Amino acid sequence: QVQLVESGGGLVQAGGSLRLSCAASGRTFSTYIMGWFRQAPGKEREFVAGISRSGSNTLYADSVKGRATISRDNAKNTGYLQMNSLRPEDTAVYYCGATFSTYSNTVLYTRTAYESWGQGTQVTVSS
């Protein structure tokens, strides 16, 4: 079991940037794949970005491609999501997830593949 705690959300103007963090504990951080998802009011939780165990492979949703960068520091047991050029439609609760599944792009973007989730951090982008 792994415990995840997100931080770094907040209120930002359109065009601004935020860096979200996901602090992990409970198991060796490098043993699991990590992903970021988000959920806006009235909508399902959707994939944002995912990263392999070593950090060498990443995947992004089309909606954030070119504006988001996912990374991880296995020595610090922390994952990150840098979001730039934020838009009002990026407003959502952002969650980090962890999975021990065998790596594939399908696993990265499949919400049900993730076994552990954090409590989420709110990102609000004003126009």
Average pLDDT over residues 35-44: 97
Composition of the chain by helix, strand, coil, percent to 5: 10, 50, 40
What integer best gives the mean pLDDT of the chain?
Answer: 97
Query: Is pLDDT of 36 > 90?
Result: yes
- CA-to-CA separations, 37 to 29, 47, 48, 94, 98, in angstroms, rounded: 18, 4, 5, 6, 11
Is residue 96 within 8 A of residue 111, CB to CB? The reply is no
pLDDT digits (tens, 9 = 90+) for 59-96: 999 999 999 999 999 999 999 999 999 999 999 999 99
33, 103 Cβ separation under 8 angstroms: yes
- Name 118's bridge partners: none
Instruction: Compute the residue count for the chain.
Output: 127
Q: What percent of the chain has pLDDT over 90?
A: 97
Q: CA-CA distance, 39 to 101, in Å (whole number)?
A: 23
